[in-house]
Structure 1
Amino acid sequence: MAERKISKSNRGFKGVWIPSHIWLDKNLTIQEMMFLVEIDSLDISDEGCYASNKHFSEFFGLTNGRCSQIISSLQEKGYIAISFIYGKNKEIDKRVIRVVRKLNRGIKYSKGGYLENAKGSNTSFSNTKNNMSSKPDLIPYSEIITYLNNKSSKSFKVTQKWKDLIKARWNEGQRLDDFKKVIDVKTNQWLNNQEMNKYLRPATLFGNKFDDYLNEYRPQVNSSISDEIAESQRRLLEAYEQ
């Protein structure tokens, strides 16, 4: 592990507090938990956390690559959301990381306290205690999109747009199996249809017609069992006619 490099600038807070549901979360590794706490300490305004992988690399004494893996894992697990700010040439100017659930925080001081920017983070810090009271979002976004890609031979990314659609359905009570059923139904109907194949996408499948698509699902019956049932029915009819 490389030597940690901590900015000497005063962050303006007295420490961090890790709530029990984060500390005891089996879905988080120790490194992921520490990253989540650090991101939360930077994400105290509506602007989010602008910290780069270099910041996390220096702060934790890890390589940029390892930091990227940890942040990606937190995103896939639903703890953080990542968006990008683009420059004039449509190149990425800044990465914005936000803790998925808006956290309850203390009031930022403008008098009697202070706000200041931490070097390399481009965000403000408060000298009040952070409160991570909300549970993280554990919706399996990545698994749902991956299942769709595998069934439809497409390559959709886990974007915020698709996550919002999935979350809307999830909040209505739909679960992973329901998403898979809808994907199964529509890929069976549309995959080999040139006109309809283009609609095998999250915007269509996970939209307002989700429940209609779900009700189209019929469990597949094993062909041998189906044949046995048909044969049994045929014999009953023959016996009845005699």
Structure 2
Amino acid sequence: MKIEIIPATDIIGGACVRLTQGDYDRRTTYYRDPLEAALRFEEAGIRRLHMVDLDGAKASEPRNLAVLERVASKTSLEVQYGGGIKSREALRSVFDAGASRVICGSIAVREPEAFAEWLGEFGPGKLILGADVRDGAVAIQGWLEHSGFTVRELINRFTPQGLTQVICTDISRDGMLCGPSAEFYAGLQGAYPGVEITVSGGISSMADIEALDSTGLRSVIVGKALYEGRITLNELKRCLQNA
């Protein structure tokens, strides 16, 4: 299997939680200390961790940098961090706290010139475009607001600036354990061969990941399926050892 598996840690109040369909009122807390989860993933052989500051997404500024700093300093994981990054100062603070890559969503929609500048300044290897999709449109502001843009329109806006990484989350499937929209993601990856399309939302089993791998997708974010035991750490370890 070639596809990279990236566990998700969504942070509210310093704890590791999962939302259902992006609804802040439908959340489950899995780890009071996200470092505990990160260490377990690292021991299984994971290389990259997806961390979303849900408090920061609501507040429009990072709010859980202490969690990021702790995980980044006490593990060897590459942490990609998103949530509330609306200014260059916020972006620098996230890198200073130990993030290897930073995910930008709302800023790319509302201030595309700023995100384009950041791509040039920090490099496409450090910045990820976050495109969270609901009913065909990209949602912003912690999934609370529709932008009116499709994911392809958003990607097209930044490929001239060298964009190489996109996380596309299907909000309707996020936390639902119903399987991903494999055809949608395969079509997106086929349309942009120079861009790594990371699948996010709906993963329920290793079979889902194997199906995505067979279509040539390069990376996938897994959240609730791991926390609910639909995919075990032993399965993860075996899969990574055979990669």
Structure 1 length-normalised TM = 0.25
Structure 2 length-normalised TM = 0.25
Q: More strand per residue: 1 or 2?
A: 2
